Amino acid sequence: MTRNKSGLSTLVGAVFVILVLAVGLGAFIHALNQQDLYAQVATQRTQADWDRLNEELDATKVAIVSGKFNVTLMNEGKLPIKLDSLWVTNQTANNPKWHQKFDFTPAKEIGPSKTITNIGQDLSLNALDSKSYVLKFVTERGNAASIKSISVAEADLKLSLFLMPRTITTGENVTILLSVKNSQLDADSIHKINPIMDYSVCIPDCNSVAITPKSTPTQLDSLARDSTALFKWIYKVQAPANTIIRFNASIPNGKPGTFVTDDLTIFIIETAKFAEQSTTAAQAGSLAATGGTFTGNELHLLNSTAISGVSPAGQKMHHNEPERIGEANAAQIWLSSATTATNAKRWYTQPSAGVATIPAGNWKFWLCGVVNSQTQNLKLLVNITEVTGTGAFVRNILTNTQLDYQTQFHNTNVKCKENQNSGPNLSQQQIQNENRLRMDLWWDSSSTVSWFRLYYNATNIEGGKESKIEFKGSNVQNPFPSFYFNLDGKDFWISVVNAGPLHFFITADTRAIFRNVNTNATYGSILIEVNRTNTVAIHQDNNIRDVLLVQPNNAKELHFSTPATIPTRNTGTNNEGARPTPGTYDLNILLEGYDQNGGKLIKILYFGRVTIV
Amino acid sequence: MSKEGRKSKGFSTVLMSAIMLSSISAMGVTVLGFSDSVVSSQQGRISELYVERSNALQEIFIMEDVWFDGVTGSKQVHVTIKNVGQLPIKVTSITINVVKSSTNQLINPDQSATIDIAYEWTNSLHDIVVQTERENTLKQSWMP
C-alpha cells in the first residue's frame, strides 16, 4: 500500500518534468525556426548584394543629335538591368551648376550583353553643343554608370593636316586630310566636332586664286577618348604659278590654338619632267623635288598638256628638253637637209587619260626657230598618227601634210611663227584611252633654206612662246601625262633636273633598269659619263670623277651604257651579257647621290614604258 | 486495539501521501508555470531579435546622388537616397564629415528621397554617412 502511494508521487513529478521539458523543447524549436527565417533573409540579402556587384553597366558613347542626348549603353554583365533614372549635370554652367534628375517610366531594360541606343532622345531636356555634360544612369539595383561629354570649347584636341599632294599644277585637285585626336584625359567624349577650312591667305595674293570645293566632310557627333577622326576635303585649285595657298583647318569655338595650317604650292607643268617630279617628290625631305626626262639622239619626246585658260586655248605639243631651259642654245633640233618620212624627227604625246576629243577645225603648228637665211622659204612635212600606248600603229590622221612657213623666220633671233597655209582642217578626232599621237616632222625638198633649228621652251624665245600644235577650239581637258621613248637598244642619255632648293650630287652608283612588261626579263645600264657637250666620264676610279653636282634649277645629262644582263661601262665588249630583245619595257632610274646637307639621296624615277626596237 | 492502531496508522499514511502529492503538484505547477513564463519571454525576445535583424538585413539603400549647392553662407548638400531593398526605411541622420544632422525621412521600396542638409562645404572630399532607424549606415565620400 505504501509503495503504491510513493509511486503516484513519482509519477506526478515525472509528468511535471516532462511538461517542463516540453516547454523548453518548444522554445528550442521556435529558436530554430527564427534562425531559419533569418538565414533565408540573409541568403536573399547575399543574393541581392551579389546581383548588385555583378551588374555591369557601361555608357559607351554619347553624342548630341538634334539637340537631344543620344547615349549608347551596354550591359556587360550576365544579369538583366533596369534603368531607373538619369542625372544630368551641366558642367559648363556656373553658380550654380545645372543639375537635374530624369526618371525612366517605365524603367528601360537591357538584357545581358545587349546594347541600347538613342537613350536621351525622348527626354524633355534640350542639350546644347556648347555645353559640357556629365550623365549618370542609375539602375534598379542601385548601381550607376557615368559618362562625361565635353564641348570643343573645353577640349584638348591634337590636329594634324595632310595635303596630298603639297604641290600641284593649276586646275588640279588637292586632297586635304585633317586628323583630330581626342587627348582629353578627364572626358569620355567630345561632342560636335565640325572643323572648317580656310584658305584666304595666299602668297603673293589671292586675287587670281579660284578654289572650288569638290568634297567637304560632315561634322562628327562625338569623338571618344584617345580616338582619332579624319576629315577630308577635296578642292579644285586654279591659281597662277608659284602661288602659295595656306590652308588653315580649325575647330570653331575650340580652345585658342586649335588650328593647323599647311601650304599648297602651285606651279605650272611646262614639261613632263615636272609631272614626274610631282609623283616622285623627294623622300627624306632633303630634296623638294627632283625628276628627269629623256633626250634621245634622233628620237624626241613630244608631250601634250592642256592649256585651258591660255590664249589661244587648245592642246599643245612641245618638245621636252628641260635641261636646256634658259640656255642660249636651248632645245634645238636641226633640220639641216631634206629628209624623208622614214628618218623624220619623231615625237610622241603622252597616253591619253580616257578618250580625248579634239573638235573639228584647223590644226595650227607653231614653230620656234632660226633659219640660215631669212629670205629663204621653209616648208616642212608632217605625219600625225594615232598609236597605242606602246607605239603600235592605230590609224593615220595626217599624211605628208605640208606646213608652209615661207620666210617668216629670222636668221639670228628665235621667232615663233604659225604656218602660213591655213593648216590642215580635220574633222573631230577622238584619241582613245591610253593611246598617243605620233608626229613625224621632216624636211620638204621644196624648201630653199639650208637648215632650220627648231627650239623649245627657251626663255629667250620670242615672247616666251614655244613650239606646239594647237587644236583649234579644243576643250580637251585631259593631258597626256607620261613618257615614251623609242630606244634603239644602244647607249642612251637621260636628263636629270634638280627642281628643288638644294644642291645635290649624283654618284656613280646611279643605274637604269629595263624590265620587259611581258616576260619580266630585266637589263641594267651603268652610268658612264655626264654632259653631252664637254663630256666627263663617270668612273669609280680615283683618276676620274666620281660625282656630278646638280645645282638647283639645273639639269644634267647622264649617259648610260647599253642595257644588258651584265651591265658594263665598256659597252660592246663580250662581258656585257645579253642585250634586251625588241619589245616593251618599264624603265626605272635608280638615282643615287647626296645633297648639300649630307643627306643621302636615293630616288627611283619611273619613266614609263619604252619600246626597244 | 490492533484494529484501532491499524486505523490510526493508515490515516496518517494517507494524509502524508496526500500532503506529499499536493506538495509535488504545487511545486510541479509552479516550476512548469515559471518555465513556461521564462521560455515564452525568451521566445518573444528571440523572435523580436530575429525580426529586427532580418529587417535590418533586408534594408538596402544607396546614395544615388549628392549635390553640393549654394553660395557661401547658405551652402547646402542635397543627398538623394534610393531605397533598393524590400522594406521601407527611415533615415534618422546624415553626418557630413563630423557634423551630424537629424532627420526623419521615410523612404518606401524603389523610391528615392532627397534630404537637404545645411552645410558649408568646401571644394574637397567630404565623408557622408547615412544612418537609418534600424541602425544601418552607409558611408561614401563625395566631391563637389
N- to C-terminal Cα separation, chain A? 154
**The model's pTM:** 0.51
Chain A residues 101-130 within an 8 A CB cutoff of chain B? 101
Rounded to whole angstroms, the Cα distance separating B93 from A8 reads: 65
CA-wise closest residue to A114 among A147, A90, A82, A161: A82
Other beta carbons within 10 angstroms of residue A558's beta carbon come to 26
CA-wise closest residue to A456 among A230, A248, A295, A234: A295
Rounded to whole angstroms, the Cα distance separating A372 from A407 reads: 11
Tell whether the model's pLDDT for residue A272 goes beyond 80.
no
Percentage of chain A exceeding pLDDT 70: 70
Nearest chain A CA: its distance from B99 CA (Å): 24
Tell whether the model's pLDDT for residue B117 goes beyond 90.
yes
Per-residue pLDDT tens over the stretch A277-292? 322 222 211 121 222 2
Instruction: Yes or no: say if A199 and A245 are a contact pair by the CB < 8 Å rule.
Output: yes
pLDDT of A261: 86
Q: Which three cell numbers stand for residue A372?
A: 640660215
pLDDT of A8: 75
Nearest chain B CA: its distance from A141 CA (Å): 6
- The residue of A38, A81, A86, A141 whose CB has the most chain B CBs within 10 angstroms, and thus the best one to mutate to test that interface, is A38
Q: What angle do CA A123, A127, A132 make, to 5 degrees?
A: 130
Using DSSP bridges, classify how beta strands A228-238 and A210-215 pair: parallel, antiparallel or unpaired.
antiparallel
Between A320 and A403, the more confident residue is A403
Answer whether A19 sits within 8 Å of B58, measured CB to CB. Answer: no
- The residue of A2, A3, A6, A9 whose CB has the most chain B CBs within 10 angstroms, and thus the best one to mutate to test that interface, is A9
pLDDT of A535: 65
Rounded to whole angstroms, the Cα distance separating A30 from A24 reads: 10
Chain A residues 132-151 within an 8 A CB cutoff of chain B? 136, 138, 140-142, 144
The radius of gyration of chain B's CA atoms, rounded to the nearest angstrom, is 33
Q: What is the mean pLDDT of residues A239-246?
A: 82
pLDDT of A608: 57
Answer whether A5 sits within 8 Å of B43, measured CB to CB. Answer: no
Nearest chain A CA: its distance from B81 CA (Å): 10
pLDDT of B71: 80
Interface contact A25, partner B, CB < 8 A: no
Between B7 and A422, the more confident residue is A422
N- to C-terminal Cα separation, chain B? 110
Nearest chain B CA: its distance from A104 CA (Å): 13
pLDDT of B45: 85
Between A314 and B79, the more confident residue is B79
Rounded to whole angstroms, the Cα distance separating A391 from A439 reads: 12
pLDDT of A463: 54
Q: How far is CA A114 from the centre of its chain?
A: 40
E strand or H helix at A602: strand A600-612
When pLDDT is cut at 50, 70 and 90, the band that residue A484 belongs to is very low
Strand partners, A335: A452
When pLDDT is cut at 50, 70 and 90, the band that residue B138 belongs to is very high
Q: What are phi and psi of B32, to 5 degrees?
A: -65, -45
Per-residue pLDDT tens over the stretch A555-564? 666 777 778 8
User: What are the chain B neighbours of A48 within 8 Å (beta carbons)?
Assistant: 60, 85
Per-residue pLDDT tens over the stretch B33-56? 888 888 888 888 888 888 888 888
Q: How far is CA B66 from the centre of its chain?
A: 29
Greatest mean pLDDT among A442-446, A591-595, B25-29, B61-65 lies in B61-65
Tell whether the model's pLDDT for residue A275 goes beyond 60.
no
Greatest mean pLDDT among A319-333, A376-390, A441-455 lies in A376-390
Nearest chain A CA: its distance from B57 CA (Å): 7
pLDDT of B93: 95
User: Roughly what angle, to the nearest 10 degrees, separates helices A2-53 and B2-58?
Assistant: 0
Q: What are phi and psi of A59, to 5 degrees?
A: -90, 110
Percentage of chain A exceeding pLDDT 90: 6
Between A322 and A556, the more confident residue is A556
Rounded to whole angstroms, the Cα distance separating A181 from A193 reads: 11
Interface contact A87, partner B, CB < 8 A: yes
- Lowest mean pLDDT across A164-168, A367-371, A484-488: A484-488
Q: Which three cell numbers stand for residue A574?
A: 663580250
Query: Residue B16: CB partners within 8 Å, gap ≥ 6?
Result: none
pLDDT of A122: 85
Q: What are phi and psi of B73, to 5 degrees?
A: 100, -25
Strands (E), A189-227: 189-193, 196-203, 210-215, 220-224
Rounded to whole angstroms, the Cα distance separating A152 from B93 reads: 43
- Lowest mean pLDDT across A115-119, A597-601, B21-25: A597-601
For A272, the 3-state DSSP assignment is helix
Q: What is the mean pLDDT of residues A479-488?
A: 33
Q: Which three cell numbers stand for residue B19?
A: 500532503
Q: Which amino acid is at A189?
A: S
pLDDT of A402: 87
Q: What are phi and psi of B64, to 5 degrees?
A: -70, -35
Tell whether the model's pLDDT for residue A4 goes beyond 60.
no
Q: What is the mean pLDDT of residues A95-123?
A: 86
Q: What is the largest CA-CA distance in chain A?
A: 182
- Lowest mean pLDDT across A160-174, A592-606, B14-28: A592-606
Rounded to whole angstroms, the Cα distance separating B117 from B105 reads: 12
Q: Which three cell numbers stand for residue A108?
A: 528601360
Answer whether B54 sits within 8 Å of A37, measured CB to CB. Answer: yes
- Lowest mean pLDDT across A133-137, A389-393, A478-482, B11-15: A478-482
Tell whether the model's pLDDT for residue A230 goes beyond 90.
no
pLDDT of B103: 93
| Edge-to-edge strand list for the sheet holding A167-169 | A167-169, A259-267, A244-250, A196-203
List the single residue in B with minimal CA-CA distance to A88.
B65
When pLDDT is cut at 50, 70 and 90, the band that residue B88 belongs to is very high
Answer whether B82 sits within 8 Å of A138, measured CB to CB. Answer: yes
Instruction: Yes or no: say if A235 and A176 are a contact pair by the CB < 8 Å rule.
Output: yes
Interface contact A53, partner B, CB < 8 A: no
Instruction: Yes or no: say if A482 and A351 are a contact pair by the CB < 8 Å rule.
Output: yes
List the single residue in B with minimal CA-CA distance to A44.
B58
Q: How far is CA A253 from the centre of its chain?
A: 29
Greatest mean pLDDT among A43-57, A241-255, A304-318, A365-379 lies in A43-57
Instruction: Yes or no: say if B101 and B84 are a contact pair by the CB < 8 Å rule.
Output: no
Instruction: Yes or no: say if A363 and A423 are a contact pair by the CB < 8 Å rule.
Output: yes
